[in-house]
């Protein structure tokens, strides 16, 4: 297994977490358990990275929006994240989903 750590600002991780949550909610109903399991791994990695922050969290428990979370996932999980961001990108009104996807794609292309 190949693992990759991508530093993702909290402001970009939050929409990633939201897209993953949306995908898991739909996919569990449709019985696509591989997707649900991948999503669980991704969200857990984000929560662990946020929990490692030793400063003052925001009102929702996250580090400051510009803090970079060191998210470590299997390459396959990062590729799944990109596919889920593409899945939800047409419905997003803010650029953060596109920015997050581009950041992750650049990290994947660099290795």
Q: What is the pLDDT of residues 56-79, one digit of tens each?
A: 989 888 999 999 999 999 999 999
Range of the domain at 36: 3-109
Q: What is the pLDDT of residue 36?
A: 97
Q: Are 64 and 58 in contact (CB under 8 A)?
A: yes
Q: Are 22 and 58 in contact (CB under 8 A)?
A: no
Alpha-carbon gap, residue 97 to 16, rounded angstroms: 7
pLDDT interval class at 1 (50, 70, 90): confident
- Ordered DSSP codes for 76-99: HHHHHHHHHHHHHGGG-SSTHHHH
Domains held by the chain: number: 1
Q: Which of 3, 1, 20, 2 is nearest to 100 (CA)?
A: 20
Contacts of 20 by beta carbon, 8 Å cutoff, 6+ apart: 39, 42, 43, 81, 84
Q: What is the mean pLDDT of the chain?
A: 96
Q: What is the pLDDT of residue 87?
A: 97
């Amino acid at each position: 297994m190949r693992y990759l750590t991508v530093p993702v600002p909290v402001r970009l991780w939050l929409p990633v977490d939201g897209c993953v949550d949306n995908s898991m909610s739909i996919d569990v109903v449709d019985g696509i358990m591989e997707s649900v399991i991948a999503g669980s791994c991704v969200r857990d990695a984000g929560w662990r990275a946020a929990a490692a922050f030793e400063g003052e969290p925001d009102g929702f428990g996250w580090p400051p929006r510009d803090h970079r979370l060191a998210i470590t996932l299997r390459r396959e999980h990062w590729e799944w994240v990109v596919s889920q961001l593409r899945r939800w990108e047409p419905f997003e009104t803010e650029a953060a989903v596109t920015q997050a996807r581009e950041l992750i794609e650049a990290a994947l292309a660099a290795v």
